[in-house]
Chain A
Amino acid sequence: MKEISDLNLPDDVKYTKDHEWAKLDSDIVTIGINDYAQDQLGEIVFVELPEVGDTFSEGDEFGSVESVKAVSEMYIPISGEIVGINEALEDAPELVNESCYDNGWIIKVKPDDVAQLDNLMDKPAYLDMLKG
Chain B
Amino acid sequence: MNQQSGTSGLIFNEPLLWDKSCKGRCAMSLPRQDVDRAELDESLTGDAPELPQLSELDVARHYTRLSQWNFGVDSGMYPLGSCTMKYNPKTNEVQAARQGFAGAHPLVGDEFSQGALKLVFNLEQYLAAITGFDAVTLQPAAGAHGELAGMLIIYAYHAKSGKQRSKIIIPDTAHGTNPASASLCGYESINIQSGENGILEPEAVAAVMDEDTAGIMVTNPNTLGLFESNIKEIADIVHSKGGLVYGDGANMNAIMGVVKPGELGIDVLHLNLHKTFSTPHGGGGPGAGPVAVVKSLEPFLPIPRVVKNLDSYKFVTDYPDTIGRLHTFYGHFGVLIKAYSYILSMGAKGLSDASKLAVLNANYVKESLKGTLNLPYDLPCMHECVFNDEFQKKDHITTMDMAKRLLDYGFHPPTIYFPLVVEGAFMVEPTETESKEDIDQFINAVKAIAKEARENPEKLKKAPLLTKVTRLDEVAAARKPCLRG
Contacts and interface: CB of A to CB of B under 8 A. Distances in A.
Interface of A: 1, 43, 45-46, 66, 68-70, 93-94
Contacts of A1: 393
**Among the interface residues A66, A69, A70, A94, which one has the most CB atoms of the partner chain B within 10 A?**
A69
A1 B390 CA distance: 12
B475 interface: yes
B417 A69 contact: yes
Contacts, number: 17
B250 to A, nearest CB: 20
Interface string B416-437: 0100100000000000000000
Contacts of B474: 68
A70 B420 contact: yes
10 contacts: A43-B475, A45-B479, A46-B478, A66-B478, A68-B474, A68-B478, A69-B400, A69-B417, A70-B420, A94-B479
Task: Name the 9 nearest CB pairs between A and B, nearest first.
Answer: A45-B478, A43-B475, A69-B417, A68-B474, A45-B479, A68-B475, A45-B475, A70-B417, A68-B478
B425 to A, nearest CB: 10
Interface in B419-460: 420
Contacts of B420: 70
A114 B400 CA distance: 43
Contacts of A68: 474-475, 478
B141 to A, nearest CB: 25
A68 B473 CA distance: 10
The binding surface of chain B is classed by DSSP as helix
A31 B304 CA distance: 53
Interface string B474-485: 110011000000
Main secondary structure on A side of the interface with B: loop
A89 B478 CA distance: 14
B461 to A, nearest CB: 14
A9 to B, nearest CB: 21
Interface in B397-427: 400, 417, 420
Interface string B382-401: 00000000000100000010
Nearest to A1: B393
Contacts of B478: 45-46, 66, 68
Nearest to B423: A40
B421 to A, nearest CB: 12
Contacts of A45: 475, 478-479
A66 B417 CA distance: 13
A68 B400 CA distance: 10
A19 B383 CA distance: 35
Nearest to A43: B475
A104 to B, nearest CB: 14
Given A43-B475, A45-B478, A94-B479, 14 more contacts: A1-B393, A45-B475, A45-B479, A46-B478, A46-B479, A66-B478, A68-B474, A68-B475, A68-B478, A69-B400, A69-B417, A70-B417, A70-B420, A93-B479
A63 to B, nearest CB: 17
Contacts of B475: 43, 45, 68
Interface string B317-333: 00000000000000000
Interface in B63-81: none
Nearest to A92: B479
Interface in B460-479: 474-475, 478-479
Nearest to A46: B478
Contacts of A66: 478
A45 B417 CA distance: 16
B341 to A, nearest CB: 39
With most chain B CB atoms within 10 A of its CB, the pick from A1, A45, A93 is: A45
Interface string B331-349: 0000000000000000000
Nearest to B418: A70
A45 B479 CA distance: 5
Nearest to A72: B420
Best-surrounded residue of A68, A70, A94 (most CB of chain B within 10 A)? A68
A81 to B, nearest CB: 23
Contacts of B417: 69-70
Nearest to B393: A1
A45 to B, nearest CB: 4
Contacts of A93: 479
B387 to A, nearest CB: 16
Contacts of B393: 1
Contacts of A46: 478-479
A53 B478 CA distance: 29
A73 to B, nearest CB: 11
Interface string B286-310: 0000000000000000000000000
A66 B475 CA distance: 11
A75 to B, nearest CB: 13
Contacts of A94: 479
B322 to A, nearest CB: 35
B417 to A, nearest CB: 5
A68 B481 CA distance: 13
Best-buried of B393, B474, B479 by chain A (most CB within 10 Å): B479
A70 B415 CA distance: 13
A33 to B, nearest CB: 17
B482 to A, nearest CB: 14
A55 B475 CA distance: 32
A76 to B, nearest CB: 17
A55 B405 CA distance: 47
B353 to A, nearest CB: 37
